[in-house]
Amino acid sequence: MPQKIKAIAYYLPQFHPIPENDAWWGKGFTEWTNTAKAKPLFRGHYQPHVPADLGFYDLRVPESRAAQAEMAREYGVYGFCYYHYWFAGKRVIERPFNEVLQSKEPDFPFCLCWANQTWTGIWHGAPNRILIEQTYPGLSDHRRHFETLLPAFLDHRYIRVEGKPIFFIFKPDELPEPRMTLDFWQNMAVKAGLPGIHFVAISGVGKWNPLNYGFDAISPPPNWVLRPWGSPREPLKWLKNKYERARGLPTIQSYEKWLRTQKKYDEISPNYYPCVTHAWDNTPRSGKNGFVLKNSSPELFKRALEDAVKSVQKNPNDKKIVMLKSWNEWAEGNHLEPDIKYGDKYLLELQKIL
């Protein structure tokens, strides 16, 4: 029997205080801090985004995590892809996922995305300020990293492809020796009783092909909204016009126009998982340095989702995967969770398609 589409939503765990954020941004800082203080920067600018059904939750509270999973399941989301942070043994904002893993609740599918990038103050106007540097000390660190993740990989809720736990890597081209690293993990997985790991590179389509370096599949970057396919790696410069620069405005683009530039499904194959972004506005974090997709709507999201679903219909059952950007990136204006303006309208369109 054909399997349904697996729509997997990226999930940000930064909705509880941690010592590092207290030190960098002030005591009690969470993602809600930027979300709540946001203001409109131009006529028709939709800010702030105020949560509706789930409220300003704290992810240390089990009931909040259970309510998220219940809502996601109701509207057809298959599972969450939690951002995972590992800096040569140091972990941050790991508590929500650790508690999901240890408590066995909620009973809702999940996987992990290693957000392997250096943390800087770029979204707060301080791009040269390094908060935590991403380094790669070598195989001993990769061993510790794998051993830390193994309990999650063995969990019955972990999302699998061909029996293998699926694991996303955010910056695949920054791994110093990707093939050696992935082969090392594959060998450790087999020794641990797994058939292997299904590695997905979060990467655009370019000269550097992750499939040549041990990755099993590719998915577009969750932040691909910052530049169209084939554009320079420097975000935003390609788009910001003289008017916006002169007025001190954020970079603004029509969501509908942006969708047309992003519709590059010629690379779709069983080794390619599309990523659908339904909205974007990171001015709560970045102010005038931010990027706004103006006039996104549930109807346009439905159109983008239909294209993505169509593109994976011919994939083998385990690979009928569509990534959703994202479940709860509130300070990026990028949340499927209901707000007081749209309610559950985006989720209803998702439910219709799935």
- Give the tens place of pLDDT for each residue, 324-353: 999 999 999 999 999 999 999 999 999 999
Is the predicted pLDDT of residue 320 greater than 70, yes or no? yes
Give percent above pLDDT 90 in the chain: 79
256 within a domain of the structure (yes/no): no
pLDDT mean over 16-30: 94
Query: What per-residue confidence (pLDDT) applies to 248?
Result: 79
Q: Take residue 301 and report the two structure tokens written for it.
A: 């999201």
Query: What per-residue confidence (pLDDT) applies to 289?
Result: 87
Is the predicted pLDDT of residue 217 greater than 50, yes or no? yes
Distances from the Cα of 71 to the Cα of 37, 112, 113, 289, 326, angstroms: 26, 20, 22, 33, 14
Residue bearing the bigger pLDDT, 280 or 234: 280
Query: What per-residue confidence (pLDDT) applies to 258?
Result: 87
> What does the alpha-carbon distance between residue 291 and residue 161 come to, in Å, rounded to a whole number?
34
To the nearest 10°, the Cα dihedral for 124, 130, 134, 137? Answer: -170
Element (H, E) at 70: helix 62-74
176 within a domain of the structure (yes/no): yes
Residue bearing the bigger pLDDT, 184 or 268: 184
Residue bearing the bigger pLDDT, 61 or 261: 61
Query: What per-residue confidence (pLDDT) applies to 346?
Result: 98
Query: What per-residue confidence (pLDDT) applies to 247?
Result: 74
244 within a domain of the structure (yes/no): no
241 within a domain of the structure (yes/no): no
Return all residues near 242 (Cβ < 8 A) that are at least 6 apart: none
Its domain, for residue 68, covers: 6-41+50-223+264-286+297-353
Per-residue pLDDT tens over the stretch 238-277: 456 655 666 779 999 999 988 887 766 545 678 999 999 9
Beta strand pairing call for 79-84 and 110-114: parallel
Domain count for the chain, please give it. 1
To the nearest 10°, the Cα dihedral for 124, 256, 40, 42? Answer: 110
pLDDT mean over 164-192: 96
Determine which of 11-25, 252-266, 279-293 has the lowest per-residue pLDDT on average: 252-266
Q: Which residues pair with 254 in a beta bridge?
A: 294
Q: Is 225 helix (H, G, I), strand (E, B) or coil?
A: helix
249 within a domain of the structure (yes/no): no
258 within a domain of the structure (yes/no): no
Please tell me whether the peptide bond between 219 and the residue prior to it is cis, using omega within 30 degrees of 0: no
Query: What per-residue confidence (pLDDT) applies to 85?
Result: 98
Indicate which CATH number applies to the domain containing 178. Answer: 3.20.20.80
Residue bearing the bigger pLDDT, 236 or 264: 264
| Residue linked to tokens 């890597």 | 169
Confidence grade of residue 223 (pLDDT, cut at 50, 70, 90): low
Is the predicted pLDDT of residue 57 greater than 80, yes or no? yes
Is the predicted pLDDT of residue 283 greater than 80, yes or no? yes
Question: Using only C-alpha atoms, what is the Rg of the chain?
Answer: 19
For residue 277, report the phi and psi dihedrals to the nearest 5 degrees. Answer: -100, 120
Residue bearing the bigger pLDDT, 143 or 232: 143
Is the predicted pLDDT of residue 19 greater than 90, yes or no? yes
For residue 33, report the phi and psi dihedrals to the nearest 5 degrees. Answer: -60, -50
> What does the alpha-carbon distance between residue 243 and residue 246 come to, in Å, rounded to a whole number?
5
Q: Take residue 74 and report the two structure tokens written for it.
A: 């109701």
1 within a domain of the structure (yes/no): no
Return all residues near 211 (Cβ < 8 A) that are at least 6 apart: 201, 217, 218, 271
pLDDT mean over 286-313: 93
Is the predicted pLDDT of residue 305 greater than 80, yes or no? yes
pLDDT mean over 147-170: 98
Query: What per-residue confidence (pLDDT) applies to 3?
Result: 64
**Left (φ > 0), alpha (ψ -120 to 50) or beta: where does 230 sit?**
left
Q: Take residue 15 and report the two structure tokens written for it.
A: 């909705």
The answer to whether the CB of 217 falls within 8 A of the CB of 271 is: yes
Output the average pLDDT for the chain: 90
10 within a domain of the structure (yes/no): yes
> What does the alpha-carbon distance between residue 240 and residue 253 come to, in Å, rounded to a whole number?
9
